Structure 1
Amino acid sequence: MGCPLCGKHTDSLWLPNSRKHVYMCHRKGLSPTHSYRGKKAWFDGKVEYGRKGRILTGHNISVLLKNYKNEFGNVRQAGRKRKRVIPAESLADSEDEESESEEEEEVDEEELSRWKKRSIFFNLPYWEELPVRHNLDVIHVERNVAASIISTLLHCGNSKDGLNARKDLHVLGIRKELHPKARGKRTYLPAAPWTLSKEEKRLFCKRLHEFKGQDGYCSNISREKISGMENEIVETICMFERFFPPSFFDIMVHLCIHLGREARLGGPVHFRWMYPFERHMKLLKDYVRNPARPEGCIAESYLAEECMQFCRDFLRKTTSVEGRQERNTEYESTSILGGRPISAGRSITLSEVEKKTAHLAVIQNTTLIPLDSTEHDDTLKWISYGPRNMARSYTGYVVNGLRFHTTSVQRQTQNSGVYYEATAMCRASARDTSQIVDLVSYYGRVVDIILLDYNVFYIPLFRCQWAVRGNGVKVDESFTLVNLNQSQVFFARDPFIMASQAKQIFYSREDESSNWYVVMRGPSRRYTEADSDEADAGPLPLSVDMNVEDVDAEDQPARVDCEGIYV
């Protein structure tokens, strides 16, 4: 039993050369009329008529392990099966003993041998009614699946491709073009669809190394999208079966089909995965100073840390010491209208043109205040006086829970991308005389963060390098691409936006020789329900039409434009 949810209905196949069980036959999870079911050459050479089995419920497991007695300790019984012990309650009288023996005869011994223990949680009256009793370990599933894909593509580490994997293809009688071929004293493995050339491997590694996302990037996926993903993941794994070798499909790949169900029932994954515990284990290991006495080092360091925590809690209640705020938290300030700087500032002198342009951006984008309002009278008065020539320049700023940095800051994350929606008069063409008010999107990068000094308070502005609309922005197949290496003459008179108006995005370069960048958007860790509709899980469109016509039915499983491998 490889899958704890499918139980004995888990379809497995033993590979004699790789010497392991693999879990395929995911076409059973498709609809009965799906075209993948009839593709013999794409999969195992057979037409799939079966249907997937039901998921084990808590009641099924409870009934199965009702009379199971746990054997604790590391007891080995070589050469024979585990002996089942009849509970003592069954020996009360002969009638009960006969009834118990009749029930035991109905128990599936083969199914019972798959289990090692009966969980003590089944003593709880509600446990067997829970739809999710134990969560799958998402971090190890994603880590192992990602490592399998990358190592197979790059043919390094624990690659699922090799001589034994190709021999298993020969045993199964599928993909004859990929079977190993003897050439002298060596064996030649033809280039498979997953085989990359040296140049392709270099580009692949370079893109992964140079990729930079925004700070705290995450994705808010609704339950409706999860329901669709549960069906799409089955098709995705079927496409993996089409191209990857059978040795690729270990139990971790199979468990991916259940992650959508658990996310739908259990909610956000960060409440259920092992990352906090793994990080805490890393913290405890760092306490070790003497490898000969690791337990003592951990105990002493943990006690010292606990004493310091008690002292901090005591001082926080008795003195005015403030605790450490969250990383991207804003604090209320009467001197700065919105956000806070997170870097050292420097004084700069604005020219008259720059001062007028920045002041005009503040006036045009300041929220309209009613005439009978007395709360912001002083603010309006000082804004009407205009800013001073002296201003403060920063390289980092936090506003609206987002962390921004200028392009001059080199970090592991990319926090300089800016997305801004402005209200403008639009028309269909130059000949169109009817104009309408609509939102126009602008994409750019933050090149400077300025605090305008209005004598009694500061107003933050972002000076940005914008992509020219028209020839600098294009939408191609649900992708938005921008070219930021163009002249900024068009934005010379209006390069500023208010810091509170900035929305964060990040860019991924189209290819090594192109000046076009793909726009990627996503909410921060402090996302709200208002941001959920704007969030994308990545650059891919939300709905992908996976038709079999997208792949040629007559294509060759072996690559002819790439060199194979000698072993």
Structure 2
Amino acid sequence: MEKKKKAEMEESSDKTYWKKKSIFFELPYWENNLIRHNLDVMHIEKNVCDNKLWTLLGVVGKSKDNLKARRDFEDLGLRKPLHPQQQGATKVYLPPTCFTMNKVNKDVFLKVLKSVKVPDGYASNISRCVRMKEHTIFGLKSHDSHKLMQQLLPLVARRALPKNVVEALIELSNFFRQLCSKVNLTSDLENIQDRIGLTLCHLEKIFPMSFFDVMEHLPIHLAEEALISGPVQFR
């Protein structure tokens, strides 16, 4: 029986679940191509910004901090103070996290965005996207998320969130600001390439595991691509 099991394990290890091979691998120069997939920085930045905003504001249906995320903590035995608490037959209470904002903090957070005035051509009117009563932001475009991520998010978070959360958000904003700079030295890109891994570790200590989808992982590769193929705006 043991020999049979070993044989089955060896057969299963030889099998692969990847059945499709891209036709690009048939190109003669493909194995020497340093960048096979040019990642879209603006798309990644928008998705990262949206995930941050929806989670910080606790938008129902879009926030990454939900009952399923808390169940993950419970199943893995992590962060016991954040485990869901059953109250009655149907109601479940989710204890607040370090980034959970009450109504007062959400008002402070959104009032700054509501009062933002920028020069013509710098960005669209972001204040129109703010919904004070619903405590949410609606209708942001990619360029709006670009400005929010790099310029506005650290400012609006300073008075509404704890210091450790604000510092992690500032680190992430600095990464995208340096990456999208018009002029980048090799030393600058090497520095942010070394820092982004540590920044994501700081975020992992704050946000739930469900927050870290593929979009939160892709910034790891952005500085390396800029080192190989040049500034973002030229690609």
- Tell whether 2:110 aligns with 1:179: no
Distance 2:217 2:114 in 1: 29
Question: Which structure is larger by alpha-carbon Rg, 1 or 2?
Answer: 1
Amino acid at match of 1:140: H
Structure 1 residue 195 displacement after superposition: 0.5
2:192 is the alignment partner of 1:229: yes
* Residue of structure 1 aligned with 2:15, choices 86, 89, 109: 109
Which of 188, 209, 213 is matched with 1:250 structurally? 213
Cα offsets for 1:519-538 (capped at 9, x unmatched): xxxxxxxxxxxxxxxxxxxx
Aligned partner of 1:168 in structure 2 is: 72
> Contact 2:182–2:233 at 8 Å: present in 1 too?
no
Q: Which amino acid aligns with 1:190?
A: P
Q: Are 1:206 and 2:118 counterparts?
A: no
| Higher share in helix | 2
For residues 101 and 109 of structure 2, the distance between their equivalents in structure 1, rounded to whole angstroms, comes to 9
Cα offset for 1:115?
5.2
**Match for 1:203: what amino acid?**
V
Listed as ranges, the matches of 1:37-76 within 5 Å are none
Matches of 1:227 and 1:155 in 2, distance apart? 35
Conservation of the 8 A alpha-carbon contact between 2:70 and 2:83:
yes
Alpha-carbon RMSD across the aligned residues, in angstroms, is 2.2
The alpha carbon displacement at 1:208 in A equals: 2.5
The aligned counterpart of 1:63 is none
Q: Give yes or no for contact 2:47–2:215 (8 Å, CA) kept in 1.
A: yes
What is the match of residue 50 of structure 2? 147
Residue 136 of structure 2 corresponds to which residue in structure 1? none
Q: Taking structure 1 as reference, are residues 212 and 221 closer, same or farther at Cα in structure 2, changes over 3 Å only?
A: farther
Secondary structure at the residue paired with 1:243? Answer: coil
Where relative contact order (Cα < 8 A, 6+ residues apart) is larger, the structure is 2
115 and 132 in structure 1: CA distance in 2 versus 1, 3 angstrom threshold: farther
Alignment partner, residue 547 of structure 1:
none
Do the aligned partners of residues 209 and 130 (structure 1) sit closer, same or farther apart at CA in structure 2, a change above 3 Å counting?
farther
- Name the structure with the higher strand share: 1
Aligned partner letter, 1:127: W
Q: Which one-letter code corresponds to 2:207 in the other structure?
A: F
TM-fit CA distance, 1:152: 0.5
SS of match in other structure, 2:68:
helix
State how many pairs are aligned. 164
Q: Which runs of 5+ in 2 are unaligned?
A: 1-10, 123-179
Q: Structure 1 pair 213/232, CA: closer, same or farther in 2 (3 Å)? A: farther
User: 2:79, 2:183 → 1: CA distance?
Assistant: 38
- TM superposition shift of 1:117: 3.0
| Structure 2 residue aligned with 1:192 | 97
Which one-letter code corresponds to 1:133 in the other structure?
A: R
Give the stretch that moved more between structures: 154-163 or 203-212.
203-212
Inter-partner Cα distance in structure 2 for 1:266 and 1:108: 36
Partners of 2:19 and 2:120 lie apart in 1 by: 44
After TM superposition, list the pairs within 5 Å mapping 1:317-466 onto structure 2. Answer: none
Using the alignment, how far apart are the partners of 1:214 and 1:140 within structure 2? 24
Question: What secondary structure sits across from 1:132 in the alignment?
Answer: coil
Classify 1:213/1:259 alpha carbon distance in 2 versus 1 (closer, same or farther; 3 Å): farther
* SS of the residue 2:86 aligns to: strand
The secondary structure found in structure 2 opposite 1:193 is coil
Q: Judging changes above 3 Å, is the alpha-carbon distance between structure 1 residues 174 and 255 closer, same or farther for their aligned structure 2 residues?
A: same
Q: Aligned partner of 1:245: which letter?
A: P
Q: Which amino acid aligns with 2:68?
A: N
Confirm or deny: 8 A CA contact 2:184 2:231 kept in the other structure.
no
Once residues 161 and 231 of structure 1 are traced to their aligned partners in structure 2, the CA distance between those partners, rounded to angstroms, is 28
Unmatched 5+ stretches in structure 1? 1-104, 273-567
Per-residue CA deviations over 1:60-83 (Å, capped at 9, x if unaligned) read: xxxxxxxxxxxxxxxxxxxxxxxx
Q: Which residue identity lines up with residue 206 of structure 2 in the other structure?
A: F
TM-score (norm 2): 0.63
Name the % identity: 48
Secondary structure of the corresponding residue to residue 205 of structure 2: helix
Contact kept in structure 1, 2:196 and 2:219, CA below 8 Å: yes
Q: Which residue of 2 aligns with 1:262?
A: 225
